Each structure stands twice: as C-alpha cells, then as structure tokens.
Amino acid sequence: METDPASPSSRPSPRELTSLSAILTSLSEIESQEANLGITLSNLLANQEPIISSLTRLQSIAPHVDELLLDAHLLSEKVGMTAQTAQRVGGRVRALDEEMRRVKEANDRVNAVLDLKVSLLLPSHPKHRLRSTQVVISRASCLHGCSRLGSRQPALRSCYGNPEEYHFRTFC
C-alpha cells in the first residue's frame, strides 16, 4: 500500500506551520485530498447497482437454500434410521445363518444314523449287508470328522437304485 503524498502522515503538523505560504500549501493539499475522496465515494455509490442486484439474487435464493437444508436434514435422519435397521437385520441374519448351519449339521448326522439303520435292516446277503454297513459307518465317521473341521459334509449316493452299491464322495 503506497502512501499518498497528500496523506495526513506526509503533511507537517499544524504546529510546525509557521508561515502563510506553508499554511496555504497544507490547505491546498487537504482540499485536493478531499476532492479525491469525494470522487472515490461518488464512484463507489455509482457502482452500487451490481452489488444491489447480487444481494437481491442472493435473497431470492435464500428460501431455496433453506428448503434444501431441510430436505438434507430429513434425508440424513432417514438414512440414519435405515442404517440402524440394516444393522439389526444383519445381526439377526447372521444368527439365522448360524442356526441353519447347526440344523444342517444335525440333519446330516440324522441321515447318517438313518443310513446305518437301513443298512442293518436290509434283508440281503450277509456279504452285501456287511459292505453297506461298512460304507455307512465310514460315512458317519467322516461326517463327524468333517463337522469338527467346519467343512462341507460328504455326499453318499446310491447308483442305479441298488442300495448295496454306494459311491462315496467327499467335499472335505
């Protein structure tokens, strides 16, 4: 910021003015500074129209901004409630998945026991009954071992509708 030669800091103090010419020179500088300030003030007042138009536009936008603020607040509340509901539902779904896993494991064990009972009740040749019993027992022991490891259970399928011919596949 430059200092104007006619600014008060560059003028001598009125007590230092001892001659008429020094007083007239100081008064001339003050009048010149006053004229410059008057022109600047007039220019500022003349250029007030863009400021007023901008202020008018901002005031016309204010209700829309307030409405958007209210909408944003309501949306934030809805999203918060939805997030809380999702957390509660997610926890319940995880609990349900765990229960379904336990039911499936229990179902697999019941099926193994049923297979063992069926193989023991088959009225077939003792050689075939012994073979089917061995397959079912090995399946049951694998079921027990696989369930401890937390992996998938083995699948036991009969081929060609003959219960004595079992194919044993594990997904362990």
Q: What is the pLDDT of residues 94-146, one digit of tens each?
A: 999 999 999 999 999 999 888 888 877 776 655 555 565 666 666 656 555 54
pTM: 0.36
Domain that holds residue 97: 74-169
> Residue 81, Cα to own-chain centre: how many angstroms?
14
Q: 72-87 burial, b for 16+ CB within 10 Å, e for fewer?
A: eeeeeeeeeeeeeeee
Average pLDDT over residues 16-36: 89
Q: Which whole number is the average pLDDT over 66-90?
A: 94
Cβ neighbours of 119 (radius 10 Å): 22
Q: What is the pLDDT of residue 168?
A: 43
11/6 Cα distance (integer angstroms): 7
Query: Ranked by mean pLDDT, which of 42-56, 78-92, 147-161 comes out on top?
Result: 78-92
If you average pLDDT over each of 26-40, 46-60, 156-170, which comes out highest?
A: 26-40
For residue 31, pLDDT beyond 90 = yes
In a domain, 151, yes or no: yes
Nearest to 168 by CA among 153, 151, 150, 149: 153
Residue 66 falls inside a structural domain:
no
Q: Is the pLDDT confidence value at 69 over 80? A: yes
Q: Is residue 141 part of a domain?
A: yes
Is residue 109 one of the residues assigned to a domain?
yes
Reading phi first (left if > 0) and then psi (alpha if -120 to 50, else beta), residue 65 is in: alpha
On the question of pLDDT at 155 being above 50, the answer is no
Count structural domains, the chain. Answer: 1
Higher pLDDT, 48 or 100: 100
Q: Looking at the domain assignment, is residue 143 inside a domain? A: yes
